Structure formats: structure tokens, C-alpha cells
Structure 1
């Protein structure tokens, strides 16, 4: 499958049973909802996917299951967040064997690598896999910024094709485009800057609240790309209080609670995470319930 880095690509949550095992039935329900809504890729094992808590076997199961569910309609992409270059290369090899069609790649975990080390890390992985790669630029959460100069040094690697832009600096979309033209696809990774980034020229949206509201997320993307800005803005303004649930240390719990209320998920998380409780849960639930009460009627966005 040829991977085109565009459109809405959900960073899906990992579904667990109450016995802390993979809940493949609910996982299937959610993935089908994403595909039905018109997403253009499925990303597994990101922050929302509770990647740091998953075993290699569980990651393989999720990749294989998603490949079957997608059935060639959209690419299956797995996130790589490893501490060592060797570990990252091994993970890429396993992903390729399992049928993944792309990788989302974070800088080294735990150790704060400098620019030379980070470039070498990305380069070695790129040289050791045939899979297309999207670099994940999130210095706020992960401590290492992928600068424009670093991207410049990585341009010889043809399979490094995209950047998930999560610096929270909206101008960075324009900076990347001005410097590199179409060399790198740009996908926004911050829900609360989703529409703004697309208007600045981003090619796609690696989204979080899409896990609970897939149709609304894809509708915004499709309307913007069709230059139907007012229609997109109306939905986006409704969506913003929900999108803000993604910009939180409890984003996994927040979004899983939203998935429960749209019928495509459960609240089960893997310890040390715990489901929301008390006033915190009441606050998030009030936002979700208000969003559902005022949920907009969508245009026939699939025909755009």
C-alpha cells in the first residue's frame, strides 16, 4: 500500500477489559467507527494508546488486528517510542513483519539526546526499515524539539516523509512549508490547533477526540479542504470544549470517558492510570454531556 500522509488519522486508544487484557471486541467497534467516518489512517501505540504500558506481544496483536479490519482501505501505522536505537530498529522490524504500513517515530525516550544524537537515531532507523516514517515533534511532552535544521539533515532519507507537528507554535506549519515546500507532509498533532493548522496548510490531523467523535473530526477536515470554512468553523466552535480534553495529563482518561458516552469505548485504563473520579470526573462528564446535548447535524461531508 502506498501511504499518503494526509487526512484525519486517529491516534486510537487501546481498549482493555476489566481484567486488564486487550479488549479486541471493543477495539474492533471503535476502529469500524473510525473507518465508517472516513479517516485516512489508523495510528496505534501513541500516548493515547498507552504505549508505555503495552508489551511487544500486545502491540503485535493490535497491528495485526487493525490490518485485518482496515482490509487495505487505509494504512495501519504504529508509534515507536524506545530508549535505544537497537530497540527502535527491532520494533520497526517487528511492525513490518506484522503488516504495518507506516511508522510514527518519537525521539529517544528518557535520555535527552542532543541534535547530533537525535539525527543519528532517526537516520539509523530510517536506514533499517523500508516503511515510511512520520517524525513526531512534541518537545513540550517529550523534551526534544526536532528543529528545521535537523529536518534539513534528514532530507536524504526518502522514507522520512512527514512531521507530526505538536510544538503548539502554529507558525511552525508555515516555517516547515516555507523551508521545505512539499518535501515533508505536515500533520497537526494538537487537537485545539486542528482547524488553525489545516488553514495554515497542514496536510492532515493526528487527532485525539476523534476516538469518540470520528464523524465530526473528519467533517471539519473535509470542509476546510473544500474551502467551506464557515461550515467547518461552526462545528469546530462546538467541538473546542471537547478538544481541550486532549490537552491534559489525563487525556487518556478524558477521551476514554467520552468514548463511553458515544458508545465506542470503555473507561478501562492500565495502571498506574486510574479512571477519573470525584469532582474531576464530574467536570469532564459535564463537558461531554453538554457536547452531546448540542451535537451538530453534519452536512454530507463524505460526498465532498
Structure 2
């Protein structure tokens, strides 16, 4: 079984497309290098922000192959698993391991809202089919399934299930998880607008969204918390918040791709049914991004960066 410490910043990376609706692998490489240069601890492919719902399985595996070529072992590569049936999920996990993924982020069954017993059985079947470390994605707001502490207790019987992406939007759940499981379960905050609070109450790291556009600022925030520089972290966080709020909207992909395009590390294109921003919405989101960039902190000059 591969080993991951599940600590630090894990971008849920974007999947750039070109104007012909094909994956733009040169821009994917550019964004990936920007993440690694900033010091991230791993990358997660084909997550919600990576437009998992718009990618074919073959495209997801092609992304994995390209990421392996680009990353060259510098950070772990996690592939997101979103399948409708247990059989397909098992086959996906095994293929990901064969190609060379370092871990999996696994969502509950898609389309069918399984009950607790079914969800546990689904995760266990995947865990028993592969030696890859698994990050369980707990996001009842967007995916309707709540993975309770009791369910996680059952799941931890499987040694490959090692971490949870905590996206319930209930900050207290980080503490509940730490109180219940201690070091047995790593906790990664999954909601950008409470990322600082999550770290300060004990989350081991973040699966982040705006890091896709602002990797250096995200890493500075994490490093400041780890160094105990809380007042500087709060100051940076307050600058960041208007951007972080782009992560908690149904159009988060359009918004964050636009921000990353402003930074020169993505394209704005999404796959239909997602359409380009227009009118007042486009003006409003561009203003949020432009206003933040205009007053962005100089990390080194202000001693925000601690790495």
C-alpha cells in the first residue's frame, strides 16, 4: 500500500479546454507547474473543479497519464473517482492504480442517493479492490450524501481509507472528527471560505479551489498558520475572502477559471451545459477578480511567505 501523509495544500486542479472543446494540455502543464512552484503538497485531478461531470473516463485517465509525465514524482497525484455503480468504481480504481496514480479521492455513488449501509459498502468495495490510499469526499451540500462519524468509524476498518475531505460547511465538524478519530483519520478542509478557520482548529490541510488561480497566496496562508503567524494569516485571509467566495457558487468552475485566466494559468472555456459568463454577472465577477489583483499583497516584501 502506497503511503500519503495527507497534510498540506492539495489543489483540486482545473481542466483547461481550448476553444474547440478539447483539453488544453499545454495550459494544464502551465497550471500544474505553477502549483508545484508555489509548494503545494499534491494535486487532485478531475474533481468537481476539474469538471469531472464533463469528462469521459478515458479523458480522466489521459489527464492522469499527462500529469505523471509533468509532475515526475515531485508531488503525489490523486485521481477523483465519481461513478454510478460499484462495479464501475472498482474498475476505475484498479485502472488508476495500474496507470500510476498515488491515491484516490472518492465520492459516494452518483445519481442514486444511497442509504448509510449502501454508502459504506460502496467505499469498502473500492478500498478492498486497490492498494491506493483513499480520501473520502464528504459533501452533503452538493452531493446529497452525508457521511457520518459512525460511518467513518466503519470505513476506517479498511487500511487504505485514510482521510476525509470535510466539505459539510459545518466548521465544528473538524473538531468532531479530531475528537473522535485523532490521528487515525486525516482531515482536509474542503470549503475555501472557512479554510483559515479549518486549519486553525486542527485540519491537516486543505483541498483548495482558488489555489488554482492564486497558488502563492494559498501557500502563504497555510505556511503562516503552520508558523503560528496568526495575525498575518488573518490579514492575508481578509484580502483573499472576496475571491474565496467564488468557490461556493454553482458557477464556481466558470468563476475560478476566469480568475486563473487573469493570472495566465488557465483558459476560460468550459464544456456545455456550462456557458461563458455574460452581462452583469461577467462584469461583477471580473470586478471582484480585478479589484483583488489590484491590491494583492506583496508576499515577500510584507513577510507573508514563510517557506
1:258 Cα offset (Å): 0.3
* Alignment of 1:89 onto 2:100: no
> Which residue is equivalent to 2:170?
169
Distance in 2, matches of 1:210 and 1:225, equals 17
Distance in 2, matches of 1:132 and 1:270, equals 30
Distance in 2, matches of 1:303 and 1:140, equals 34
Unaligned runs of 5+ in 1: none
Pair 87,267 (structure 1): closer, same or farther in 2 beyond 3 Å: same
Deviations 1:13-38 (A, max 9, x none): 10111111110000000000000000
> Which residue is equivalent to 1:57?
58
> Which residue is equivalent to 1:297?
298
Mean Cα deviation higher: 173-182 or 67-76? 67-76
1:144 Cα offset (Å): 0.4
Equivalent position SS for 1:14? coil
> Which residue is equivalent to 1:69?
70
* Alignment of 1:115 onto 2:140: no
Pair 38,188 (structure 1): closer, same or farther in 2 beyond 3 Å: same
Distance in 2, matches of 1:184 and 1:31, equals 27
Equivalent position SS for 1:13? coil
> Which residue is equivalent to 1:185?
186
Equivalent position SS for 2:104? strand
- The aligned runs of 1:196-215 (5 Å cut-off) are 196-215=197-216
- The aligned runs of 1:16-35 (5 Å cut-off) are 16-35=17-36
Deviations 1:96-122 (A, max 9, x none): 112110000000001110000000000
1:303 Cα offset (Å): 5.1
Distance in 1, matches of 2:238 and 2:271, equals 32
Equivalent position SS for 1:94? helix
Equivalent position SS for 1:297? coil
> Which residue is equivalent to 1:235?
236
Deviations 1:253-293 (A, max 9, x none): 00000011111111110111111111000010000000000
> Which residue is equivalent to 1:257?
258
Deviations 1:86-140 (A, max 9, x none): 1111111111112110000000001110000000000000000100000000001
Unaligned runs of 5+ in 2: none
Deviations 1:154-186 (A, max 9, x none): 121011000000000000000000011110000
1:57 Cα offset (Å): 1.5
- The aligned runs of 1:150-169 (5 Å cut-off) are 150-169=151-170
Q: Normalization by structure 1: what TM-score?
A: 0.98
Equivalent position SS for 1:18? coil
1:301 Cα offset (Å): 6.2
Distance in 2, matches of 1:146 and 1:162, equals 13
- The aligned runs of 1:210-225 (5 Å cut-off) are 210-225=211-226
* Paired residues of 2:220 and 2:306 also in contact (CA < 8 A): no
> Which residue is equivalent to 1:266?
267
> Which residue is equivalent to 1:39?
40
1:2 Cα offset (Å): 3.1
1:71 Cα offset (Å): 1.2
Distance in 1, matches of 2:61 and 2:113, equals 28
Equivalent position SS for 1:164? strand
Equivalent position SS for 2:87? helix
* Paired residues of 1:38 and 1:302 also in contact (CA < 8 A): no
Pair 36,47 (structure 1): closer, same or farther in 2 beyond 3 Å: same
* Paired residues of 2:108 and 2:122 also in contact (CA < 8 A): yes
Question: Structure 1 runs of 4+ off > 6 angstroms?
Answer: none
